[in-house]
Chain A
Amino acid sequence: MSHLKAVASRTLQLALVLWAVVTILFLMFRLMPGNPMAAYIDPTFTVEQQQALMAQFGLDKPLWEQYFIYLGNLLQGELGQSFRYREPVAERIFALLPNTLILTFSSLFVAYAFGILAGAYLAWRRGSAVENAAIPLVLMTRAMPEFWLGMVLLAVFSFWLGWFPAGGTRPAGADYDSLWALYTSRDFLSYLALPALTLAIYSQGLPLLLMRSNMLDVMKEDFVTMARIKGLSNWTVVVRHAARNALLPVMTSFAIAVGYQLQGNVVVESIFSWPGLGRELVNAVSASDYPLAQGAFLMIAVVVILMNLIADMLYALLDPRISHA
C-alpha cells in the first residue's frame, strides 16, 4: 500500500515538474524579443490560415488567457503549425521520434553491454596496470565533446577509408515500403553505425565507472566473504554473487542515461544529418520556426522527465531497502 502511495506521490510531483517546464517554455517563447504572434504565425501564411491560428491559440487575447488556451491545446496534443513544413507540429515530431529513439537505444545498449563487462573486469583486476591505465582513459572519453568525436570518426571511417556513409539514414533516391523495411535494411545499419558508435563511446563511461565502484563496494560485503569462506571459485564469487548485486544501480542509471543522451543527440544528429528530434530542434531554432522548436523542446523534456520517474521507481523496486520516507 505504501508502495502504491509513494508511486502516486512521485508521479504527481513529476506532473508538477512537467507543468512548470511547460510554463517556462510558454514564457520563453512569448516574452522573446519581437512580435508575440511570431510564436505561431508566419507572415507568409494566408489570411485565412492566420485567422484560424489566431482563434485557435487566442493570440489577440491577454497573456494569461493565452496561457490557459495553450495548456488546453497541449492537453489535446495540439502544438500548432510548422512554418517551414506547413504541417502540424505534432505529426512532424512523432515522425522524427523513432529515428531519435533508435539512435539513442542502440548506442546505449552497446555502451551498457561494454561498460558493465569492462567495469566488472576492472574491479576484479583492481590495482593492476590495466586498471591504472584504463581509468584515466575512460575519464578522457567523458571529457570529449561528442560532436568532435563524431567529426574524427567521420574523417577517418567515412572520408578516408570510405567504410561508412557520411550522413543521413538511407542512400539517395532509395525508397522503402514502410518504416519497418527501412529500419531492417542493411543500408540503414551502415548509416546508423557511426553516430551510434560516437554516442556509445561517450556513454560507456557512466556504466563502466558505476559498475566498477559498485563491484568494489559489494566485494567487501559479508555475503561475498561468506561465499569465499564456503570455498566457491573466484569466478562464481565474482559473477554469481558480486556482479548480480552490483548490477542493480547500473540498470537504474540506464533510464537517466536515456535522458542525458537525448540532450547529447542534439549535436551528434546535426553532425551526421540524422533526421531526429535534436537536429530538428537546431534547424527549427535557426530558421525561426517557433512552433516546431517548441514542440521538439517539449518532446525532449517529456522524455527526460519520464526517464527521471522511471529511474526513481526502478531504484525503489529493485532495491527494497530504499524507503519512501
Chain B
Amino acid sequence: MHDLALQKPGLVGRLFRSLKLPLSDPFAVFGLAVYATFLLTAIFADAIAPYDPTEILYTPEYELASDLRPGEQGFILGTTSLGRDIFSQIVYGTRSALIIGITAAFMVALIGSVVGLVSGYFGGWVDAVLMRLADIAFGIPFLPFVIVLAAFLEPSIWNVVLAMALVLWRDTGRVIRSQVLTLRSRGYVDAARVCGSSDLKIILRHIAPNILPLSFLYGSIAIGWAILTEASISFLGFGDPQSISWGYMLQDAFASQALAKQAYYWFVPPGICIILVVSAGFFITRGYENLLFPKLGR
C-alpha cells in the first residue's frame, strides 16, 4: 500500500488516513465531490453571487424586478415576487445549510461517540443509565420537538443544532456502544490494561481510533438530517428570518403562490440543492459500509 511510502505522516495526515475515506467507490467519490463543490460555493459566496440575497432589485426602467423568469433582464434563475435574485439566494443558502449541517453533524457524532465509548467501555450502571437515556431520546418525536423548541427560543439557525445535539445522538451512541463492546475484549486492550494503562488512555489510544470511521459515517448521515430539518423548520415559519436558507426560499415561494404561478425556477432549484447535499452524505455512507463491512457486499 502507498502507506509504506510515507513513513511518518504528520498529525493531519494520520487523522485524515484514520477517517478511511472510501475513495475506491465511485458513488462515494461523487458524494465527496458534491461536498467539495458546495463547500467552495459557501466559502466564496460573496464572489459568486451577483447580488445581495435580501436586496430588492429594480430593472433599468426603475420597475420592481419581481417574478422575472430565468434569463430575463440577466437574472440567471429569475427573481422572487419581492424582486430578489433567486440565484444569489441559492448561493448564500449553501452557506447556512453547510454551517448548520456540519456543526450539527459534529455535535451528534461527538456526543454519540462519547456516550457509546463510555457506555460500552465501563458497562454496569453507567451503561444502564446512558442506554435508558437513549431509550427516552428514541421516544421523543424529533420534528415536533424542534418545532416547540424553536417556538420558545429566539429564532436562530442554532435551534436545529441544539435540538439535534439533545436528541439525535441516540443512534450513533447505540451503534458505537455495541462496537466498543466487541473491541474492549480484544487481546491488545487486555495487554494495554496489564501494562498498567489507565482507562482514559485505553479509550483514547486503543479504542477511539477504531470507532472513528463509524463516527464519521454517522456524522455524514447527520449532515443530511440537519439540512432537511432546518429546511422543514424554516418552511413552517420557525426559522431565522434574518438568514437566507433553502428552507426559507421554499417557504417564501409557497407563501407567494409560486405553485399557482408555475414558477418552477423558484422552488425547484432549492429542492435539488438539498437532495444533492443529503444524498451525497448517503453515497459516502454506502462507500463506508463497503469498507467497514465488506461481507455485506452491497
In the complex, the chain A residue whose C-beta lies closest to that of B140 is A21
Q: Which positions 272-298 of chain B face chain A at CB distance < 8 Å?
A: 274-275, 278-279, 281-283, 286, 296-298
Residues of B within 8 A of A297 (CB): 141, 144-145, 148
Contact A18:B143 (CB < 8 A) given known A143-B274, A143-B275: no
- Complex CA distance for A143 and B231, rounded to whole angstroms: 12
Q: Which positions 123-156 of chain A face chain B at CB distance < 8 Å?
A: 136, 139-140, 142-149, 151-152, 154-155
A/B pair count, beta carbons within 8 Å: 137
Contact of A148 among B136, B237, B250, B282 (CB under 8 A): B250
Residues of A within 8 A of B247 (CB): 145
- Complex CA distance for A154 and B247, rounded to whole angstroms: 17
Residues of A within 8 A of B298 (CB): 213, 216
In the complex, A282 has a CB within 8 A of chain B: yes
Interface size on A, residues (CB 8 A): 52
In the complex, the chain B residue whose C-beta lies closest to that of A154 is B259
B11 CB → nearest A CB, Å: 34
A84 CB → nearest B CB, Å: 15
Residues of B within 8 A of A24 (CB): 136, 140
**Does the CB pair A151–B254 fall under 8 Å?**
yes
Stretch of B12-20, B81-89, B197-205, B262-270 at the chain-chain interface: B262-270
**Does the CB pair B136–A282 fall under 8 Å?**
no
Contact A32:B254 (CB < 8 A) given known A16-B132, A143-B278: no
**Does the CB pair A147–B235 fall under 8 Å?**
yes
Q: For A21, A139, A304, which residue has the most chain B Cβ atoms within 10 angstroms?
A: A139
B34 CB → nearest A CB, Å: 11
Contact of A139 among B136, B140, B259, B279 (CB under 8 A): B279
Contact A305:B144 (CB < 8 A) given known A142-B282, A286-B237: no
Contact A148:B147 (CB < 8 A) given known A21-B139, A155-B259, A267-B236: no
Contact A304:B250 (CB < 8 A) given known A33-B152, A155-B262, A282-B147: no
In the complex, B138 has a CB within 8 A of chain A: yes
A211 CB → nearest B CB, Å: 13
B 137-172 binary contact with A (CB < 8 Å = 1; else 0): 011111111011101100000000000000000000
Can you list 22 A-B contacts with CB-CB less than 8 angstroms, sorted by A residue number?
Answer: A13-B132, A14-B135, A14-B139, A16-B132, A17-B135, A17-B138, A136-B279, A143-B275, A143-B281, A145-B232, A148-B250, A216-B297, A264-B143, A266-B143, A266-B144, A266-B232, A267-B235, A270-B236, A282-B236, A301-B141, A301-B144, A308-B139
Contacts A142-B278, A266-B232 given; 14 further ones with Cβ under 8 A?
A20-B139, A140-B275, A142-B279, A144-B274, A151-B253, A155-B259, A216-B298, A263-B142, A263-B144, A264-B143, A270-B236, A281-B147, A301-B141, A308-B139
